[in-house]
Amino acid sequence: MVAAALAPGRPLADARPLGARLFETRRLSLEIAAPLSAEDMTVQAMDDASPTKWHLAHTSWFFETFILAAHDPRYTPFDEAFAYCFNSYYERLGARQPRPKRGLLTWPPLDRVLAYRDHVDRALDKLLAEQDPTPWRRLIEVGINHEQQHQELMLTDILALFAANPLRPAYREAPPRARREAREPMRWIDFPGGVFPVGHAGDGFAFDNEGPRHDALIHPFRLADRLVTNGEWLAFMADGGYETPTLWLSDGWTTVERENWRAPLYWERRDGAWLQMSLHGLQPLDDDAPVAHVSYYEADAFARWAGKRLPTEFEWEVAAATAPQEGNSLATGALRPLPAGPSNGAPRQMFGDVWEWTQSAYLPYPGYRPPKGALGEYNGKFMVSQHVLRGGSCATPRGHARATYRNFFYPHQRWQFLGLRLASEAA
């Protein structure tokens, strides 16, 4: 099971041999898929989501294309047709199955996809045993982190699929809820202004969009010590949050009216009570848990209703430096956002539970240049019309999140575990 695969211990970003980390990551993808039927793994819930079977094959295609085909002259591709089926968006690598139609790939069947993964893994194991990986070590690290991204996508896409099923099936049985401490009010933490270095530097893996490290001017600000909760979102709804156009950006209000949004995604009202679809099936809403599956438009409107704002990504990064880099990630096995623990004077829930919307547009840092070749398409070409999220979620694999990590989504999207933390100017 997922929790067993990532029991408490050393994170993936540790000093173990490269091969050990690689194959642990490869095994985890199969463990995430294990509770599903072949039918579950083939269907595509919506254009933004992909079938589990496609994720399993695409992550293998990534290693086959960028590692094996490029650095092992003896490697024989498993099936030449798979390049068309499982390329995602790399224009330089040729034509591909349209993203909205990945669910039509009933062929290859699941057993052939699993054989493909085994073929790729055997070749990777042999390559690591016979060659010094130094020249292509960075590519292996990218591949590990790429597969971790898809592990989170697998879970959120499974949730989207099961939420669209009228039977509301559960991916995993819900664990008993822990005894709850008394609810604590949201507290505010003051941060001084100044010029701060931001972005990745030094040892350890980072994606290209996390650099170059540079200085950012930050004015004094205040940050909430925890995430916004479902209970607080209910108050926003009760006060007409989804019916008050003055709270919304123009594009957001247009989206609310067009999509008839009246609550976060996956919320359902039955017999006067709110329920929430989760990876544990349809569950009673937990008022104290962080709100999830809200768009940037909704997060921005809530902040305006609360008389606050969203933090910038650099405010968030400076605050994250004061918090422990741990939290409710995939490793806990909870598979849902959890209420904040007791206040300790530092920001809580900075890593895990939900990705946190910032008010920052997803743009290149000063001096940024995408890598050469097809991998240059990984991040750089998406730097327009999206917003940055920070932190990580309950579906993020251990070792994948860090203070400089820049996730990004379009402002209307909400099928991922997306939430918010409030900020304001200094008192």
pTM of the model: 0.94
DSSP 8-state code for residue 291: P
Residue 305 domain boundaries = 188-425
* 322 and 276 belong to one structural domain: yes
Return the pLDDT at 344.
85
Return the pLDDT at 174.
87
pLDDT at 4 over 90: no
H helices of 181-295, in order, are 230-238, 250-259
Is residue 398, in this structure, part of any structural domain at all?
A: yes
* 337 and 410 belong to one structural domain: yes
* 238 and 373 belong to one structural domain: yes
* 273 and 382 belong to one structural domain: yes
Which of 49, 104, 105 lies closest to 79 in space, CA to CA? 105
DSSP 8-state code for residue 179: P
Output the domain CATH number for residue 296.
Answer: 3.90.1580.10
Long-range contacts of 362-371 (CB under 8 A, 24+ apart): 362/386, 362/387, 362/388, 362/406, 362/408, 364/209, 365/199, 365/209, 365/211, 365/212, 365/214, 366/212, 366/214, 367/212, 367/214, 368/208, 368/209, 368/211, 368/212, 370/208, 371/208
pLDDT band at 62 (very low <50, low <70, confident <90, very high): very high
Return the pLDDT at 229.
97
Is residue 357, in this structure, part of any structural domain at all?
A: yes
Is the distance from CB of 214 to CB of 198 less than 8 angstroms? yes
CA 380 to CA 377: how far, in whole Å?
Answer: 6
Return the pLDDT at 19.
94
* 102 and 200 belong to one structural domain: no
pLDDT band at 194 (very low <50, low <70, confident <90, very high): very high
Is residue 179, in this structure, part of any structural domain at all?
A: no
**Domain count across the chain:** 2
Domain limit, last residue, from 100, 130, 163: 163
Q: Provide the β-strand partners of residue 409.
A: 387
Average pLDDT over residues 160-167: 97
Query: What is the DSSP pairing of strand 273-278 with strand 267-270?
Result: antiparallel
Is residue 224, in this structure, part of any structural domain at all?
A: yes
Is the distance from CB of 23 to CB of 123 less than 8 angstroms? no
Is residue 168, in this structure, part of any structural domain at all?
A: no
pLDDT band at 179 (very low <50, low <70, confident <90, very high): low
pLDDT in tens, 316-359: 999 999 998 889 999 999 999 999 999 888 999 999 999 999 99
Long-range contacts of 110-118 (CB under 8 A, 24+ apart): 110/38, 110/41, 110/42, 110/53, 112/79, 113/53, 113/56, 113/57, 113/60, 114/30, 114/56, 115/78, 116/57, 116/60, 116/78, 116/79, 116/82, 117/26, 117/30, 117/56, 117/57, 117/60
pLDDT in tens, 206-251: 999 999 999 999 999 999 999 999 999 999 999 999 999 999 999 9
* 239 and 148 belong to one structural domain: no
Return the pLDDT at 203.
87
* 140 and 196 belong to one structural domain: no
Average pLDDT over residues 22-42: 98
| Window from 14-18, 208-212, 301-305, 322-326 with minimum mean pLDDT | 14-18
* 281 and 365 belong to one structural domain: yes
pLDDT band at 180 (very low <50, low <70, confident <90, very high): low
* 132 and 236 belong to one structural domain: no
pLDDT at 161 over 90: yes
Is residue 180, in this structure, part of any structural domain at all?
A: no
The percentage of the chain sitting over the pLDDT mark of 90, rounded to a whole number, equals 89
pLDDT at 11 over 80: no
pLDDT in tens, 103-115: 999 999 999 999 9
* 256 and 320 belong to one structural domain: yes
The percentage of the chain sitting over the pLDDT mark of 70, rounded to a whole number, equals 95
Return the pLDDT at 345.
87
Q: Which amino acid is at 119?
A: H
Average pLDDT over residues 41-57: 97
- Average pLDDT over the chain, rounded to an integer: 93
Query: What is the DSSP pairing of strand 418-419 with strand 355-361?
Result: parallel
Q: Which amino acid is at 285?
A: L
Output the domain CATH number for residue 65.
Answer: 1.20.120
* 220 and 157 belong to one structural domain: no
Q: Provide the β-strand partners of residue 388.
A: 408
* SS3 assignment, position 215: strand
Which of 340, 366, 362 lies closest to 351 in space, CA to CA? 340
* 130 and 199 belong to one structural domain: no
Is residue 71, in this structure, part of any structural domain at all?
A: yes
Is residue 130, in this structure, part of any structural domain at all?
A: yes
